[in-house]
Amino acid sequence: MIIGGLQVLNILSKDEIELYTTTNITINFLLAYISVWVVSHVYETNRENAQEALKILALKDPLTNVNNRLALEYIFAEELKFSSEFSIVLMDIDFFKNVNDEFGHEAGDLLLIELTKILVEQLNEQQVFRLGGDEFVLLISESKEGALKITDKIRQALEQHIIEYKGHKLNIVFSAGISEWASDKSLSMMLREADKCLYEAKRAGRNLIV
């Protein structure tokens, strides 16, 4: 806009141009300049909106609309800055493959969506992540003991949550493993530790949190 104003002053300062001509040139220049500015502004706004949409797509799971693994890496790094105590819960649905085999992948997708709803209700969107398949991570700002209590509360809520699917009643049962953060633990280390605990829960009979 400053450049445009300088150009107008430059035009008006030329004595050899008649007033009428000068006025026309000034008006035409201003209209052209405003048009270019409007187009540029619209383009920049659209670009920013598109960039934000792509960012959301990159960080969200398309089926459940919760955070994905990439978002987990980012939020984990942020958690390190502000929290001195937190735990990671790695969980998956027990006998999920049986549901897909018996009722189809549509039923499996429904279970994943319903599980996500309960998780978000009990926690919030910033704490829930889908890694893939039926595997989820919860990021809880508690010790392992506190995270276990919260996760068990979720497990009980899911036991009461009956899902209707084409005349069948389904419910969600999961196993989970918990890793508590310590200063020497990276995200990958915590996930491996939680995965070992999850395996113990599966081996001990499922529907357990270790």
Q: Is the pLDDT of residue 45 over 80?
A: no
Q: Is the pLDDT of residue 49 over 50?
A: no
Q: Which of 24-28, 104-108, 165-169 shows the lowest per-residue confidence on average (mean pLDDT)?
A: 24-28
**DSSP conformation letters of 97-128:** HHHHHHH-HHHHHHHHHHHHHHHHHHS-GGGE
Residue 138's beta-bridge partner residues? 89, 128
Q: Which pLDDT band, with edges at 50, 70 and 90, does 58 fall under? A: confident
Q: Is the pLDDT of residue 153 over 50?
A: yes
Mean model confidence pLDDT for the chain: 84
Q: Which of 5-9, 71-75, 81-85, 161-165 shows the lowest per-residue confidence on average (mean pLDDT)?
A: 5-9
| pLDDT at residue 34 in the model | 77
* CATH no., domain 69-203: 3.30.70.270
The C-alpha atoms of residue 179 and residue 144 are separated, in whole angstroms, by 7
| pLDDT at residue 3 in the model | 54
| pLDDT at residue 52 in the model | 45
Q: Which pLDDT band, with edges at 50, 70 and 90, does 26 fall under? A: low
Task: Give pTM, 2 decimals.
Answer: 0.74
By CB atoms closer than 10 A (0-12, 13-18, 19+), residue 186 is exposed
Domain ranges for the chain:
2-59, 69-203
